Structure 1
Amino acid sequence: MATSSAERGEIRVILAAYLDGQPYDGLAYYLMEKSNLPGPRMNLGLANNFADAVGELVSEPQTRVERLEMLLDTWARLPVDQAPVNHPRVILPCVAVLSYGQAAVSRPEWWDDEIAKLERAATDPRWRVREMVAAALQRMLAADWTRTCGALMSWIACGEPLRIRAAVAAVAEPGLLADKQRAEDALAVQAEAVNQFIHFSPEQRRDENVRALRQALGYTLSVVTAASPETGFHLMEELAALPDPDIVWIVRENMKKKRLEPWQDRLTTLETALFRPEQADAQDDE
Structure 2
Amino acid sequence: MYDVQFLIENSNLPGPRGNLKLLYDFSKNASEDIIDKCLEYIKPDVRNSPEEFVAMCGVLSFSTYNKNNLKKVIPFLKRTANHGSWRVREAVAIAIQEIFSDKVDTALDGLRSLIQGNDIERRAVVAGLCEPKLLNNEDVNKKILDILLELSKPFSHDNKLDEESTALRKALGYGWSVVVSKGPENGKIIFEELFELHGKHINWIIKENLKKNRLQKMDPEWVKQCLLKM
TM-score normalised by the chain length of structure 2:
0.92
Point out the structure with max Rg over C-alpha: 1
> What secondary structure does 1:143 align onto?
coil
AA of the residue aligned to 1:138? Q
CA deviations 1:223-280 (Å, max 9, x no partner) are 0111121222223323135331111111111111111122011101111111xxxxxx
The match for 2:37 is: 71
Q: % of aligned pairs identical?
A: 33
Instruction: Note closer, same or farther for the CA distance 1:181–1:53 as it changes in structure 2 (3 Å cut).
Output: same
Give the Cα–Cα distance (whole angstroms) in 2 for the partners of residues 251 and 138 of structure 1. 24
The match for 1:29 is: 5
Aligned mate of 1:171, from 105, 110, 129: 129
Establish whether residue 112 from structure 1 lines up as the match of residue 71 from structure 2: yes
The match for 1:223 is: 178
Give the Cα–Cα distance (whole angstroms) in 2 for the partners of residues 117 and 178 of structure 1. 27
1:91-240 equivalences in 2 (<5 Å) = 91-105=53-67, 108=68, 110-158=69-117, 160-198=118-156, 202-203=159-160, 205=161, 207-240=162-195
Would you identify which runs of 4 or more consecutive aligned residues in structure 1 move more than 4 Å? none
Give the Cα–Cα distance (whole angstroms) in 2 for the partners of residues 172 and 103 of structure 1. 22
CA contact (8 A) 1:97 1:136 kept: yes
The match for 1:263 is: 219
The match for 1:87 is: 49
- TM-superposed deviation, 1:68: 4.2
CA contact (8 A) 1:167 1:189 kept: no
AA of the residue aligned to 2:23? A
The match for 2:18 is: 42
Total equivalences in the alignment: 229
Give the Cα–Cα distance (whole angstroms) in 2 for the partners of residues 154 and 191 of structure 1. 17
Give the Cα–Cα distance (whole angstroms) in 1 for the partners of residues 137 and 149 of structure 2. 19
Give the Cα–Cα distance (whole angstroms) in 1 for the partners of residues 58 and 105 of structure 2. 24
- TM-superposed deviation, 1:221: 0.6
The match for 1:244 is: 199
Give the Cα–Cα distance (whole angstroms) in 2 for the partners of residues 233 and 136 of structure 1. 28
Give the Cα–Cα distance (whole angstroms) in 2 for the partners of residues 246 and 196 of structure 1. 10
Give the Cα–Cα distance (whole angstroms) in 1 for the partners of residues 109 and 159 of structure 2. 29
CA contact (8 A) 2:56 2:91 kept: yes
Between the two structures, name the one with larger relative contact order (CA 8 Å, sep ≥ 6): 2
CA RMSD of aligned residues (A): 1.8
TM-score normalised by the chain length of structure 1:
0.75
CA contact (8 A) 2:156 2:197 kept: no
